Structures are given as structure tokens and as C-alpha cells.
Structure 1
Amino acid sequence: MNPLGFTLVLGLLVGIQAQINVLRPLCDSPDVEEAALVARDFLNNQHNHGYKYALNRIDDVKILPTPDGNSTYFLDIELLETDCHVMDPTPVANCSVRPKLLTAIEGDCDVVLKKVNGTLTVAAFKCKTEESTEDLCLGCPTLLPLNHTAALDFVHASLTKLNNVTENLTYALVDVGRMSSQVVSGGALYTVEYVVVEANCLNETCTPLNDTMAARGICTAKGFHAEPTVNCKMFSYLIPLVDSNSTVAAEPALPPLVHVHSGGIKHGRGHHKLTALHDPHMSGLLSAESESAETVPVAPTVQVNAAVADPSSAPATSSSSASDDSASAEVPLSVVKRAVEAPTAQADPVALVPPCPGKIRFF
């Protein structure tokens, strides 16, 4: 065989071996859900504005084991915006997801995680954030762009009213979270949400306190332009952190430093987006959303350190990008391979039910 032919055959064999080594566990298996929650928390920590996101569904997962007993997870997850601001220390598990009628915000993220010695860390991600508008009704509140002039005037009018009724304490605007309006008989009825922080005022000039112990909270104001009503929920920084295993951390949560909008609010959209891309070391390993589907034989796994797949999961169809294949050429020591016959046209359709996507948690 000439060298070129040998190289082509070798490349083909490596590609086939890489496909066999791709594990396809159930999307709702405990190990995969743990990885999804690690990804959710990491994504929530990437942005300083807007709201926390809750896990709604695990759409897809691939796991590439390595001979050293570690593995790489490729997750496709769907997130939904909650009513907890990112500066609110309330655990996201205790936050309410916004209903569709109030314009739900959805995030679709591809996340790459490394599992080394049983510890999961995020290596790369890309996200797309969109408004869910299919269930909106005529006459319902409409989400406004965050740079909507009249709505921002209403924000400042309600903040002035708040400062007029608080004694010995003045608040400054930190972040505008959402603004919406509803057309009623009296005109435009506004509903706005924004974060405030304790400010130091001198000669009518107020400077937000960039101090973790400064009083802060999220305010909701409603009403017509000249008649705002304001209610604020102040953040408590003695709430203990709760991790994905529902265990209480030893140290209380501390608030982030103040991130005040500088130079005015320039957002032309009605929601804060998740960070779009983070890919420092894993370039090319993030799958495209329109990945082509192909049948991949799946081997059962025996994991020594931690289970990476549900042993009851059946062989299933999968999505595998070329970049994923090229990153998985090594044979994992923790995988026991067996021959798997390709399904025929007469095969039982129940056996072909894919292990993904997983359950829908909200809508």
C-alpha cells in the first residue's frame, strides 16, 4: 500500500474509533444533570447586569472519556430567565421563572466542561438569548427596549419618589432590568424593574457606594408617567450559598461590587443577554446549532471514579461534529466496548428512542 493510501486508511480508522468512544448517556441522568447545573451557575456568574437563569432542559450531551480516567462533556442546555437579579444572593433554585405572558427570555447554550478527578469545570461556551413571544396576547404588557426614553424617564421619576420617602438614606440607580408598557384607557401604563444602591450625596450630587456592605435592592415601579408607585426588595447578604447538591456553603454570599451604567443606557433590546461566547482554550469544539445527525454506535461504560453515563441507557442516534471527532481519538481505559449491530428497517422502534432531549422543567 502506498503511503497516501495508508494515511487515508489510518485516518478513517481513527475517525471510526473516535465515534465509538463518544458516550451518549441519558440527558436526565444524575451525572449529566450535575454538569448542567455547574454550567448554569458558571453562566450566571459571567454577567453583571440583568437576571439569573434557571435550567429548563438538557437538549443533548456527549461525553469523551480519556485514558487517564477524566472526561470532556459537550452539553446543549436551555435556560430561562428568573425574577432574581444577578446581584440578588438568593440561590437560583429559589427563584421564580418568568411566565411566557410577561415575555419569557430563553437562553440556548453549548457548553464544554472538563471533569478532572471528579471535579467539573467549564472550559468554553457559546449562548444565544432570545425573547419568547409565541404566547403574547393582544393588550398584554409589551417588553420595551432598555433605552426607551419615556420608560427611562419613568424609572428616574420613581427613583426620585423613593428617595423622597426614605429617611437618612439616598439611593442611586445601578441597573435597569426590565421595562414594559401596557396600553390602557389612561394611556401607557409602565412597569419597570431596576436595582438601586446606597449613595453618598453632597450638594445634590450622589455617588453610589462601591462597598459590599452598602444597602441595595431591586425596585418595581408601576403606574402612569407622573404617578409611580414603588416597592423595593432589599437584598440580604446573610443568605447562605446553596450548591447543586443542596448543601449549605460555609461562608455567606457577598454582593458584587457596583456596576453602574456609564454614559447612559444604550441597549436597543428589551432584555439583558447572557455572555455570548467564552472559548479560551477549546476553539472549534463547540458544536453548531444545526448539527447534522448521524448514527453512532454506543458502548456501555464502566467508570472507576465516577459514573459518566446511565448504565441502563440504550444505543441511540446522536449528533457529532467533525471537530468533536477529531478531539476524541484516544481510547479511554474506562470503556468496555462491544459490537453493536446497526439497526435495520424491521428493528423495534422503541429501541431507537434517543436518550435526549431530557425533561422540560418549566415550559
Structure 2
Amino acid sequence: MQYAAFYHGAPQNFFFLLLTPSPLRGLRLTEMNPLGTFVVLGLLVGVWSQTTVDLPPCDDPEVEHIALVARDYLNAQHNHGYKYDLNRIEKIKIVTSPNGEQTFVLEIDLLETDCHVFDPTPVANCTVRPKILTAVEGDCDVVLKRVNEAFTVVAFKCKTEESTEDLCLGCHTLLSLNDTTALDFVHASLATFNNNTLHETYTILEVGRMSSQVVSGGPAYTAEYVIIEANCTNGNCLPLSDPNAKQGICTAKGSRAAHNVDCKMFSTLVKQLIHVHGGSLPHQHGLKHHKLTALHNPDQNSHLSAESDESAEIVPNVPAVVNAAPVDAAPVVDAAPVVDAAAALDSSSASDSSSKEMPPLRFKRDVAAIMAEPAPAAQADPISPVQLCPGRIRFF
């Protein structure tokens, strides 16, 4: 008994026709070459199981909400340095699996603020550092899932670097966090602060940033560092183990011999890992700023690895339908050439052995409609409908 593999009509009838004995002269399944088999299986997958990829506008309110969730999560993982605020949403991709589970793949740009991670001030109330003071930028790829109407970060990867494009001659220049001369200035300014306090003595918990500026008479330093109440014996100061020990951040300006220092005490204590620099060098040898936590689960998440490597968008393994937000007067480009299923099966028996390439295939739910469409002359980007991304720039 022969089984006809020739197909026409609505997609829901395909499986029935495939398994029904037919007197039609067609290609038997046992005679299919790999291309024909691939087309048949692809049609089946396209009919019963689809993963959709949506590309909403980057400034969509829900997308902005997701980006702020990612920002807050990244700040919570950041144990040193300063909080970062959202500057721009570069890209958003929503992957919906056949079971309805949604994965949000986000690319965002962050900028360093003047609020230390130990400072309880909400990041929305913090000031982003201007470029002239050497802005520090974070480029992050974040993968989130929606669970019970709440967004949860499952993976991320960040790159942190300073922006030097707008620095001027004579501007403040960031120094390495282990610059010995600048650290001497930090300790001298802390000694000045301790001499002016009545009952408490403080030690350095962390140096946030140090910079210098060339002026007449020698370099002028600016330094920011976090302090904590300490118990000092013979010049050796250790942080108090009391959870209510006072903490704050100091800004010092000037030289080792002549400077002023102003310290802002935190109104609410924040739990943190005690990492005292004291007289030793900080752990960030040669670095001029504290980096965001670099990564979490990058090797176990295919979405993250593709985005982080800045490679071309990868279509999921199962056929995907891409939905982009409609734009007035903007033509929608079909994602890829569509292969006529019947033609592909008929031609499979006379395949050209000189050609080893398999044409790109895409399957949509309405197979009959697809078969009526002519293939475009040129192949487009696999997922290049009009995207309203990147989004607006909030700072610079």
C-alpha cells in the first residue's frame, strides 16, 4: 500500500492526508530524500508547536518596568562601589514558548550615580555623574521570566567601563584605586575628620573613587570613601562588630597638607560585607572604578549567551513567528523566503547533487496561505521587522 505525501489544503488536514492510503501518484515516504522529510516534519512542527518572538518598542511602559526591575536587581547584586541608574533600553525580545511561558531578553545601558551601594537612598533619587567627572557605564544583558505576574531575573551579564570621550585638558582624571599617593591623601583626610569628632573614631570601609587635577602648586585630589565606626588601639583601628555601628561616606578635596573633608552619615544602616582597606591596598589592583557584578548563569542560558556576544539574533530551534509593534506607513518585511511544500517534495526526487545547500525554511500556522505567496527576491534579516529600539536616552 502506498501513502501519498503530496499535500494541499488546510493545515489541520495534513496529518490525515499523510496517513491515508491514496491512489494519487505521489512520492512515497520511503522514497523521500532528507530535504522532503525535513519539509514534512517542519510543517508538522509549525502546525502544532510554535515559539513566538515579539519585538515591542523599547519605550513601551511594560518594557520600561521590566528594565527597572533589572536595574534594581543588578544594584542588589553589587556589593562595592555605587548604584547605577537606567540610561537607555537598547533592545527587548519576548520569547513565548508553546506552553505559554514568556522569557524577556533585555539589553540596557546603565550609568553610575553618586550614591554608594551602602547608601539607603533610592536610586531614583540619586544623581548620575556627569561626563566631565568621568562617567562610568554599565552595558548589561538580562534575562527575565514572568512568574505570577511578577518579573524575575534568571541570568545576566554586564560589562563596566569608564567614558573618557568628553574629558578635557585639566579635568579631573580617575586614579587607580590602589594609587599609593592618593591613598595617603585619603588617610590624611580621615585623620582630619577623626580629630574633629568628639566621641567616635572611624576607619575606612571602602574607597569608592579617587581622582586628581593638575593645578598650580601640584595635583589636587578628590576622593570618596565609606567609613564605619571603629575601635582603635595604638593606631590600629577595627570596625565595631555592633550592627548599629555608624556608617557614612566622605568626600575629601585638596592635598595631603591642605584639604577639606565632608562626611554624610547614613540615616539607615545597610547590611554589607565588611571589607576594610585600612592601610593596605584595595583588592581592585589597577582598576579606576568598581565594576558591576559581571555575570550570573551565562553558560546555562542560550538567550543570554547570544545577546552578550553581540552576535546576530538566533531564531529558536522550533519555528518562530515574529510579532513587531505596528508602525504607520512602515512596510512589514517577511522574515525569510517561504518554500512551497508541494514543490519541495516534487523536486526532492530530482535533487541536484552539485548543490549541497538547503534553502532557508520558515513555517507559519496558516500553511495554505503561505503556499499561495510568492517567494521574495532577496532574503531579509531573519527577524528584522521595524523595531522601535533603541529607546530614549535619559541622561547622555
Give, in whole Å, the separation in 1 of the partners of 2:118 and 2:375.
Answer: 51
**Which range moves more in the overlay, 113-122 or 52-61?**
113-122
Match of 1:43 in 2: 74
* 1:77-156 correspondence to structure 2 within 5 Å: 77-156=108-187
Match of 1:284 in 2: 302
Distance 1:19 1:158, change over 3 A: farther
How far the C-alpha of 1:260 sits from its partner, in A, is: 2.4
* 1:1-363 correspondence to structure 2 within 5 Å: 1=29, 2=32, 4-5=34-35, 8-9=38-39, 21-237=52-268, 254-261=270-277, 264-267=281-284, 268-279=286-297, 282-286=300-304, 287-292=307-312, 298-299=322-323, 353-363=386-396
> Between the two proteins, what is the percent identity of the paired residues?
57
Distance 1:174 1:254, change over 3 A: closer
How far the C-alpha of 1:264 sits from its partner, in A, is: 2.7
Amino acid at match of 1:288: S
CA deviation vs aligned residue, 1:199-257 (integer Å, no higher than 9, x gap): 122343221024432111100000012112110111111xxxxxxxxxxxxxxx74435
What are structure 1's unaligned runs of at least 5 residues? 238-252, 301-309, 320-330, 332-337, 346-350
Amino acid at match of 1:284: S
Give, in whole Å, the separation in 2 of the partners of 1:316 and 1:258.
Answer: 56
Give, in whole Å, the separation in 2 of the partners of 1:86 and 1:11.
Answer: 53
How far the C-alpha of 1:16 sits from its partner, in A, is: 7.6
**Which range moves more in the overlay, 61-70 or 99-108?**
61-70
Give, in whole Å, the separation in 2 of the partners of 1:97 and 1:290.
Answer: 26
Distance 1:120 1:185, change over 3 A: same
SS of aligned partner of 1:229: strand
Checking the alignment, whether the CA contact within 8 Å between 2:51 and 2:96 is kept in structure 1 is: no
CA deviation vs aligned residue, 1:73-132 (integer Å, no higher than 9, x gap): 000000000000000000000000000000000000000001112111110000000111
Aligned length: 319
Amino acid at match of 2:322: V
Give, in whole Å, the separation in 2 of the partners of 1:231 and 1:30.
Answer: 40
Give, in whole Å, the separation in 2 of the partners of 1:316 and 1:69.
Answer: 25
Checking the alignment, whether the CA contact within 8 Å between 2:56 and 2:387 is kept in structure 1 is: no
Checking the alignment, whether the CA contact within 8 Å between 2:53 and 2:93 is kept in structure 1 is: yes
Give, in whole Å, the separation in 2 of the partners of 1:271 and 1:171.
Answer: 23
What are structure 2's unaligned runs of at least 5 residues? 1-28, 336-363, 379-383
Amino acid at match of 2:276: V
How far the C-alpha of 1:7 sits from its partner, in A, is: 6.1
Give, in whole Å, the separation in 1 of the partners of 2:60 and 2:331.
Answer: 15
Give, in whole Å, the separation in 2 of the partners of 1:36 and 1:315.
Answer: 29
Checking the alignment, whether the CA contact within 8 Å between 1:24 and 1:316 is kept in structure 2 is: no
CA deviation vs aligned residue, 1:146-195 (integer Å, no higher than 9, x gap): 11110011011111111111111000100100100001001000000000
Higher normalized strand content (fraction of residues): 1
Give, in whole Å, the separation in 2 of the partners of 1:160 and 1:282.
Answer: 49
Amino acid at match of 2:260: T
Distance 1:258 1:165, change over 3 A: same
**Which range moves more in the overlay, 145-154 or 1-10?**
1-10
State the Cα RMSD in Å. Answer: 3.6
Checking the alignment, whether the CA contact within 8 Å between 1:209 and 1:258 is kept in structure 2 is: no
Give, in whole Å, the separation in 1 of the partners of 2:333 and 2:155.
Answer: 25
Checking the alignment, whether the CA contact within 8 Å between 2:210 and 2:224 is kept in structure 1 is: yes
How far the C-alpha of 1:355 sits from its partner, in A, is: 1.4
**Which range moves more in the overlay, 25-34 or 277-286?**
277-286
Match of 1:240 in 2: none
SS of aligned partner of 2:302: coil
SS of aligned partner of 2:115: strand
Match of 2:5 in 1: none
SS of aligned partner of 1:23: strand
How far the C-alpha of 1:359 sits from its partner, in A, is: 0.6
